[in-house]
Amino acid sequence: MGKNEKIAKDWTDPRSVLKCIGPKLVPFFKTVAIYFVLADRESETWLTVVLKCLPLIWLCIFVVINGISFKEKHTYSRRILLGLVFSMIGDAFLVGSSTFLYGLFSFSVAHLFYIAAFGFQPLNAFSGFITFIIGSVGYSILYPRLNGFYEVAVPYYITLLSVMLWRSLARVQFADDGWTWTSLSSCVGGILFTISDTLLGLNTFGVNTGLSPKLCQALTMITYYTAQMGIALSVVDNKSICVLTNNKKKIETKTS
């Protein structure tokens, strides 16, 4: 087995991925636990803001320690990092009920960075059609409850969220073996992000979900943190792709 084939096999083996990145995620899980144990999610205090942002702070560190620079090979990682940073800003704004729109704007910017990172190749029009239907259904449910600036901001955000979901789904190509466990994690991240924002939107605009507000909020944060972890993990996959690409270029150079 050649070096390239071994690397490719390692990144489709869940045991190899877990062994490589598992220890680096321990602080993330600890900060999530601290948030759920110590944070008063009903209060609008600076302590709540700090505790809520701690898991995202570690995910930013995780992206950095896996490799970051201004070089082209780290373009993907930089965009994911910026997406995490703006998500963290959005988290802070969403603690306060009066700053919800600022949070919506921050997360909109985060999704733009995620979309730029995921790219538009391959296109996968079918996934785009499915996410368009999902976004349209969500908007139709919220529309009667929107007024003022929300009539513009919410559909704009739903559009960005739907595109982000589409591009995260399109990254995984099972038919062509064009996937790894970490690229699959970004796909799962996009799905869970959509579920989290759906729960948040329904709860914020008073749609009856059949869940208590506390349970709805807990599920929102659990799916949200898991989503961001999945997206952050995809930078590890990007790193492996860079190794494969560089090795391929070296082989081509030697044989030419």
The torsion angles phi and psi of 178, rounded to 5 degrees, stand at -90, 60
Whether residue 213 is preceded by a cis peptide bond, meaning omega within 30 degrees of 0, is no
pLDDT in tens, the chain (256 residues): 555 555 555 555 667 767 778 889 999 999 999 999 999 888 889 999 999 999 999 999 999 998 898 898 899 999 999 999 999 999 999 998 899 999 999 999 999 999 999 999 989 999 999 999 999 999 999 999 999 999 999 999 999 999 999 999 998 876 666 677 777 899 999 999 999 999 999 999 999 999 998 999 999 999 999 999 999 999 986 655 555 445 544 545 555 5
Give the model's pLDDT for residue 120.
95
Residue 231 · residue 83 · CB < 8 Å: yes
Give the model's pLDDT for residue 173.
78
Give the model's pLDDT for residue 246.
52
| d(C-alpha 102, C-alpha 215), whole Å | 25
Residue 17 · residue 11 · CB < 8 Å: yes
Give the model's pLDDT for residue 140.
97
Nearest Cα to 217, choosing from 236, 234, 203? 203
Mean pLDDT of the chain: 88
| d(C-alpha 230, C-alpha 164), whole Å | 14
Q: What is the pLDDT of residues 68-86, one digit of tens each?
A: 988 988 999 999 999 999 9
- Per DSSP, the residues of 36-73 read HHH--TTS--HHHHHHHHHHHHHHHHHHHHT---SSGG
Q: How much of the chain, in percent, has pLDDT values that exceed 90? A: 71
Q: What is the pLDDT of residues 86-98, one digit of tens each?
A: 999 999 999 988 9
Give the model's pLDDT for residue 245.
46
Give the model's pLDDT for residue 251.
47
Nearest Cα to 95, choosing from 49, 53, 51, 154? 49
| d(C-alpha 21, C-alpha 65), whole Å | 11
| d(C-alpha 213, C-alpha 184), whole Å | 31
Alpha-carbon distance values, 158 to 62, 125, 150, 200, 213 (Å): 28, 18, 11, 12, 22
| d(C-alpha 91, C-alpha 5), whole Å | 41
Burial class (CB in 10 A: 0-12, 13-18, 19+), 175: exposed
